[in-house]
Amino acid sequence: MLIIPVLDVKDGRVMRAQMGLRDAYKPIETPLSPTAAIRSVAKGLRRIHPFPAFYVADLDAIEKGSDPLANADALTFLQPRPEVWLDAGFRSARDIERALASSQISVVLGSESQANTDLLGALGAHPRLILSLDFRNDALMGPPAILSQPGLWPKRVIVMTLDKVGARRGPDFERLQAIREVAGDREIIAAGGVRNANDLERLGDIGIAGALVATSLHSGELGAAEIAAFMGV
């Protein structure tokens, strides 16, 4: 199973995410790092496990439309260099193509940032395009057609339940299973609510290929041994 650490970045610092209420996010305080600086937090996470990929959510780009590639190179100092799943409010083919020009970047196309299915239809076949189905209050954020047309989905699909992020209430198992059943051979990635190894085991049992994780890494509830077991290392 893929386990991908999450870095929610705002003003150059990693934030502590809480139920998708971004106005309330504060710089993270974690035993893994003395500061909330991206480099420091990423180094701390790499001391737990040599994660091959990180999810970077650029909150400035998502919320304010700033340059979506501003944090694209933030983790190039790590060795071996990780793949970056970049969620930066992508709204144009030009910006997506700029990001995909780097072989280390996979573009996360968030449903909440889309006006229609045009970008998904045009670029969904790219092997490094990832769709994020973003949910809040049991509703999809973004065009309903994205959810109702699974034939447009790329090979990897994140199911992001914002109400669960940082809330320590467990993943959205019911929704994940429902989407898994219509996704065909696509890889489904859980996002929001993963607390511990038991949650990861249950996700595996329903065919989920991976999970985005933050809080449980910083709290120590998911440690090196558990991660290595699930990652097959």
pLDDT score for 233? 65
Beta bridge partners, 156, equal 130, 187
Q: What is the average pLDDT value for the chain, to the nearest integer?
A: 92
Could you identify the residue written with the tokens 């970056």?
84
Q: Domain spans of the chain?
A: 2-231
pLDDT score for 47? 96
The CATH number of the structural domain formed by 2-231 is 3.20.20.70
Extract the runs of DSSP E, i.e. beta strands, from 17-76. 26-27, 53-58
pLDDT score for 163? 78
Q: Is the pLDDT of residue 205 over 90?
A: yes
- The 10s digit of each residue's pLDDT in 151-193 is 999 999 999 998 767 557 789 999 999 999 999 999 999 998 8
Burial (CB count within 10 angstroms: exposed 0-12, middle 13-18, buried 19+), residue 171: buried
Residues in the chain: 233
* pLDDT confidence bin for 63, thresholds 50/70/90: confident
- The 10s digit of each residue's pLDDT in 71-85 is 999 999 999 999 999
